[in-house]
Chain A
Amino acid sequence: MTGPGNQSQSKLVRWIDHRLPIFTFMQHELHDYPTPRNLSYWWNFGSLAGIMLVIMIVTGIFLAMQYTPYSPLAFDSVERIMRDVNYGWLMRYIHMNGASFFFMVVYIHIFRGLYYGSYKEPRELLWMLGVVILLLMMATAFMGYVLPWGQMSFWGATVITNLFSAIPVVGHAIVAWLWGGFAVANPTLNRFYSLHYLLPFVIVGVVVLHLVALHQHGSNNPLGIDRKGPQDSIPFHPYYTIKDMFGLSVLLIVYALFVFYMPNALGDTQNYVQANPLQTPPEIVPEWYFLPFYAILRSVPDILFIPAKLAGVLCLFGAIGVLFVLPWLDTSRVRSARFRPVYKWVFWLLVADVVALGICGAHRPEGWYITTGRIATLYYFIHFIVLLPVIGWLERPLPLPTSISAAVTRKGGAALAGAAPSMEKH
């Protein structure tokens, strides 16, 4: 497609486009779509997340053709995929490691949004839809991890579903309802399988909304200032299609290193032992991408009259919930951290804080790890609830460039060299 659908050379294309403007739509949203000219490689991670979603769905569909969601057979059926199904090992290792890479990409995407203030007016709903996607991803990943029916599948499912028993009065009834019985068992496996197949398509739906919201105002950019005219934009195709393709090839190289040379490095060895309800593994640890949340859950002590378990669950959900209201917690009108001398540091403190939480989540809550976990949990909430509003009021942002093109092109760049550091060089 080189021209808009309704002016196409092809009579067939014109005929279709007149009745169903799919070609015009693609022309507008994928080809002409005006995009800031200064997006850095941190902006690749949105499209990478979309591609990871597709990879997960495609490999997942093939795995589902061979998998048996019945508790006495599930573990062996996964091993059958590994051993006897043509390229089954490849599908499974791509899917298994894909979960890690999907989260890695999405976490970078989220932190990019945090650094450059991509959640601010007018992109609040775009951001909130992203948080919905994150929640759905977490639910999908958790249920998918249960399907191989290894020891960590079973005990992870037991621990996480038991969280709901912290709800006063109705908690235990809710847990029995989730399980479909009085313990994690075959009914639980069946419904998790069903939902694990359903939720990715719900994610696709929310991703479509996410994209509609994105294309309403277009991408934010490293300077965080609005586009003032056509000189600030370039068409999405070919500039960002080729840049996204290159970024994808780099991601695939790292991904392939894991799939082909260390496919089990990110997983738990205990999941190669079949689920045994009578034997608790020495440690019950979630996959790495849940570790910060797991640390928050385990760090919280009794708070006044709230028992530790309930408080932990509330903080766990609060850690995501606070992201929903983030656009209104950050009171600064300047988007990009580049022009926010104080927030820039606080941002990196948050990154370090989340990493620290992850480390605490990987270890037994003993001694040093309890203290660190509690401080890191407290700081996580202080960052969003206290620091962001206060810094927004007190901070004196640096002067913003007059326009994107003035700041990033060679002509305009000299005057603002200080404001456009090396990250922008393509």
Chain B
Amino acid sequence: MNILRRALAAIMTAAAVAGALSFQKEPGVEKRTGGWKKISNFGNE
């Protein structure tokens, strides 16, 4: 039973990793990162 449980966990982990990698490798996926930046010099951005 324990072996079965471990095997299932391993398969699920592998599937999750594969899914994440395939999403990252998908061509043309645009990823936006960034954040809020304080404005200190108004009118001269």
Decide if A and B are genuine partners: no
